[in-house]
Amino acid sequence: MGPEALFARLAAPGVLGLEPYVPGKPLAELERELGIADSIKLASNENPLGPPAASLEAVRAAAGTIALYPDGAAWELKQALARKLSVKPAQITIGNGSNEILCLIAETFLSAADEGVHSRYAFLVYGLAIQATGARTVVADANPAAAEQPLGHCLDALRQAIRPATRLVFIANPNNPTGTWVEPDALRAFLASVPPTVLVVVDEAYADYRPNSVGVGTPGWIVEFPNLIVCRTFSKLYGLAGLRVGYAVSHQEVAALLNRVRQPFNVNTLAQVAALAALNATDHVQRSRTLNDAGLAFLRHGLQEFGWQVPVSAGNFLLADTGETAGTWYEALLRAGVIVRPVANYGLPRHLRITVGLPEQNERLLGALKQIRGRGGSG
């Protein structure tokens, strides 16, 4: 037996069925491949304004301490988050990005006989996290393309997918890549309908963009629904994607269980101090929201004028239906130095996910599309 077949046999159950996650193409890689400069990336939902100045300052100030292990308990960051969210510090788990927390939840609560549920077109990491544990992934139908929340989560379908073997349900609110969301009242009704033996993970990576309508006060609901876990991140609105820091708020017993599986030093010192500073960077956060609101409206209008179908989004990105194979548009945009995200791996081969950039970046994208069409199309 050759090494390929041997190692494949040795892999844990579930691993062979995994498709590696394909991230947005890095700028440096595109420029290396095409020998171009000045390209832009609208592919990974990063904050185009960059990190808050206070976070950069905090990173500089802490740089001299990196010979020491980080505070594995992330005491200061948990205190600050607990105050902000009106929960107890013991309810908070800090992760190396919220991605780590999603995997930690799956590892902690799933074994081979169990099932985890997510919606079709939901963030891909849920399926990966479930499957890596050897558990079964159950995919609930999404809303139809003509629904008010096109391709978004259908809470009734998610409810119906729950069976005796179900331990976890993942809900992205808002969802990536669809940009859709569920209203707080509907989410509460869903939680009330779910058996207490099923943990409901509500991933609010983008809820910070709509603090008054999506994700309003969900951490406070844990008193009423102890099986609710709310995940958030510093990667998107807070502009710290490269440092990898996110968190979960849960019942404190759930947090204690996650803590048994968590690596002791999972979040590095610079990430902790930068996140702490970002929490207080209210000006930067507000500027980021304002820029995003204007950019969403501008891009959506421009893409619709271009002839693409683009539903409203509650995130910092849009999902555009090009009406044809999106891969050729993606490739043509790369040659124009603009990186967007094809989402065929989500089962959406006609769609592109486009992150809202700075005004000049948004204009450059629309200009590039028109040029490509002017040259005779995406091919």
Ligand X SMILES: *Cc1c(COP(=O)(O)O)cnc(C)c1O
Q: Which residues bind ligand X (CB under 6 A)?
A: 45, 97-99, 123, 172, 176, 203, 205, 233, 235, 241, 246
Nearer to ligand X, 62 or 172 (CB): 172
Contacts 24+ apart (CB under 8 A), 21-30: 21/124, 21/125, 21/128, 22/345, 24/339, 24/341, 25/334, 25/339, 27/339, 30/334, 30/337, 30/339
Q: How far is the CB of 357 from ligand X (least distance, A)?
A: 16
Q: How far is the CB of 99 from ligand X (least distance, A)?
A: 3
Q: How far is the CB of 266 from ligand X (least distance, A)?
A: 12
Nearer to ligand X, 205 or 285 (CB): 205
Give dist(CA 79, CA 8) in Å, integer.
Answer: 45
Burial of 116 (0-12, 13-18, 19+ CB in 10 A): buried
Nearer to ligand X, 128 or 372 (CB): 128
Residue for token pair 């040259």: 375
| 354 DSSP β-pair partners | 318
Nearer to ligand X, 187 or 369 (CB): 187
Give dist(CA 75, CA 87) in Å, integer.
Answer: 14
Nearer to ligand X, 51 or 97 (CB): 97
Helices (H), 167-218: 184-193
Which two structure tokens, joined as six digits, stand for 279?
């929490």
Q: Which of 316, 313, 288, 309 is nearest to 351 (CA)?
A: 309
Nearer to ligand X, 200 or 205 (CB): 205
Name, in order, each residue with C-beta under 8 angstroms of 12's C-beta and a sequence gap of 6 or more.
132, 134
